[in-house]
Every structure is written in structure tokens, then in C-alpha cells.
Amino acid sequence: MATSKAFNATKADKIFDICNMVIMAMILIVTLYPFLNVLAISLNDSTDTVRGGIYIWPREFTWENYKTIFSYTGLIQGFKISILRTLTGTILGLISSSMLAYTLSRQDFQSRKFISTFLALTMYVSGGLVPTYMLMRHLELIGTFWIYVLPGIVSAFNVFVIRSFIDGLPYALQESATLDGANDFTIYYKIILPLCKPVLATIALFLAVGQWNSWFDTYLYNGNKPHLTTLQFELMKILQSTNQGANMINANDMANQMAQVSPESIKMAITIVVTLPILFVYPFLQRYFVSGMTLGAVKA
């Protein structure tokens, strides 16, 4: 559409463009401001923050808040578990979904249709919260690290995204490999996997973000296991204690709550620490996930 701009820009068109620019700029600000605000508060002296009026720039710059939170052992512990589950979950998820996707991409595979349907149904039907909880109890996964990783290893969405990517690869490559005597596993490992790098990057990002951000499994299954809590869960505990403090109406309780409430700046510093890894990889990986989303959801 930009090509016609030069000779076809009417007055109404110009007004429309300007309004559109203004609206989009406002959306930009509304999206970014909260993050900048949190960052500014986290870098501001914690007693000074109480005065209010910090917007996107710290008034009394300090690293103290970050030093304080890193002396808190629960946070270091949470960091370790979060990194561990992100790595394990991503690697296992990649292996399983790519393998399954390859077998489903093979038109001659005998059970392809059955497995496809079996897998697709899981996207629409689920047992629900309580039966899943009971299953985990029976499998004795509660109170272990593996409960973070094992249940989500095969995800229908990820498998189908990878499969549509494999479908787009030329089949001749596999054929010639078969003629050279390669078995199906060798084809998967030596030919398909290297070619799938872009889509695997996308899926890796989805898996890693999901693992890093999840908190509910920690809350439900491992909330009373201090050595297994994750970073999100630690953040949640700190934020929630403060929320309740702020909402207490009873004055006696108020004083009680205030004693254990973390100062605003400390809370914001933890928020930044929890969010930073994602903000850090985000610009590098964003072209991958856009293509992955499109690949998975729309086949025009």
C-alpha cells in the first residue's frame, strides 16, 4: 500500500494516518511504561521510594536493592531450580516433540493416523485439575523435581508445528538416504534434525518460556518443599504478602503485616530479576517465534 502514497494521499488519508500513528504511539507507551516504572523503582533508594513520584527515572540511584535480594537464600535456591527445570524441560521437550513429529510426517507410517488423532484429542479434552492431581499422587511425583518436567514433555501443539515444518522439506532427501541404506532413525537424526533448526529454535523458546514462567505446579505440588521452590514461586510469596498488607483494613493486623512487608523497591528489584532472562533473549529470538506461530496456526 505504501507505493500508492505518493500520488493518492488525500486529506482524509492523511488525517487517518496521523490518528493511527497517535493511537499506536499510545499503545507503545501503555505497554512499555509499566516495565520502565518497575525498573526505575528497583534502582531507587528504598526509603526514598516511599515518597512516591518515581516514574521512569530513579531519583536516588542505588544498587542496594539488588544486593539485598541476592543475600536472600530462598531466591538463589529458586534461581537454581528455575534454571534446571528450564534446561531439562526444554531439552526433553525438543527431543520428544521432534521425534514424534518426524514419525507423523511419514506418509507411509502405518499408525500415523491413529497417533495423530490420539495426539490431537489432547488439545480439546482434559481430565481437569483434581484428577490430574490425583494421578500425580499415584505416580508419587509430588514432592520431586520431575513433576515440573515430566507431565508436559509431549505437547500436541509443538508436535504439529514441527510436523508442518518437516512437511515443507523436500522428500527426495529422505529417499536418497534410504537408498544409501540409512534407517529411519538415522534419517531423523542426520537429515531431519539439522534441517529443522529454525522451527526447533521456536519450540525451544516456547518450552523455555513456559518452564521459566510456571508457578502453579510449584504451588500445588511442592509449595512446602523449600529445596524445590522456583523463582516465580518465591516472587509470588513476596508479592502476595505485600498485597495483603496493603489491603488490610484492620489497624492491628496492619502493624503486624507491615513488619514482614518488603519495601516497594525490593519487590520491584525481584520482579526485574525474574523478568530479565526473558527480556534478554527476547530481541534475538523474536523473528523465530513469529514464524513459528504462523507456521503452527495458519496454513493458507
Partner 1 sequence: MKTLSAQADTRNVSVTPDPSKKRKKGFWRTVVRQKYLYMMSLPFVIWLFVFNYLPIWGWTMAFQNYKPSKPFFDQKWVGFKNFVDLFQDERFYLVLRNTLAMSVMGLIAGFIIPIAFAIFLNELRGKYFKRTVQTVSYLPHFVSWVVVAGIITKMLSRDGGIVNELLLALHIIDEPIQFMAQGKWFWGIVTVSDVWKETGWNAIIYLAAIAGIDGELYEAAKVDGAGRFRQMWNITLPGIRTTIAVLLIMSIGHLIGIGFEKQFQLSNSLVTDYSEVLDMYALNYGINIGRFSYGTAISMFTSVVSIILLLTANGIMKKTTKESIM
Tell me which residues in 63-92 interact with partner 1 (CB under 8 A): none
Contact 196, 94 (CB under 8 A): no
Which three cell numbers, joined as nine digits, stand for 155?
505437547
Output the CA torsion sign for 99, 105, 106, 112.
Answer: positive
The window from 15-23, 57-65, 193-201, 250-258 that contacts partner 1 (CB under 8 A) reads 15-23
Q: How many Cβ atoms are within 10 Å of 83's Cβ, its own excluded? A: 15
41: helix, strand or coil: helix
Nearest distance in Å: CB 177, partner 1 = 13
Nearest distance in Å: CB 201, partner 1 = 15
Which three cell numbers, joined as nine digits, stand for 178?
534410504
**For 188, which DSSP code?**
I
31 is an interface residue for partner 1 by CB under 8 A? yes
190 is an interface residue for partner 1 by CB under 8 A? no
The window from 66-74, 83-91, 117-125, 250-258 that contacts partner 1 (CB under 8 A) reads 117-125
The letter for the amino acid at 297 is: A
258 is an interface residue for partner 1 by CB under 8 A? no
Nearest distance in Å: CB 290, partner 1 = 6
Q: Which of 22, 246, 255, 258 binds partner 1 (CB under 8 A)?
A: 246
Which three cell numbers, joined as nine digits, stand for 163?
510436523
Contact 199, 292 (CB under 8 A): yes
Output the CA torsion sign for 132, 136, 142, 144.
Answer: negative
Nearest distance in Å: CB 76, partner 1 = 18
255 is an interface residue for partner 1 by CB under 8 A? no
Contact 58, 43 (CB under 8 A): yes
Torsion of CA 156, 159, 160, 165, to 10 degrees: 170
Q: What is the per-residue binding string for partner 1 in 139-178, x denoting contact by CB under 8 A?
A: x----------xx-xx-xx--x--xx--x---x---x---
Q: Residue 263 phi/psi, 5° resolution?
A: -60, 150
The window from 70-78, 194-202, 255-263, 270-278 that contacts partner 1 (CB under 8 A) reads 270-278
256 is an interface residue for partner 1 by CB under 8 A? no
Q: How many residues bind partner 1 (CB under 8 A)?
A: 112
**Residue list 46-65, contact with partner 1 (CB under 8 A):** 52-53, 55
Q: Which of 22, 80, 176, 244 binds partner 1 (CB under 8 A)?
A: 244
DSSP-derived secondary structure for 6-19: HHH--HHHHHHHHH
**Residue list 118-137, contact with partner 1 (CB under 8 A):** 118-120, 122-135, 137
36 is an interface residue for partner 1 by CB under 8 A? no
| C-beta of 61 vs 118, nearer to partner 1 | 118
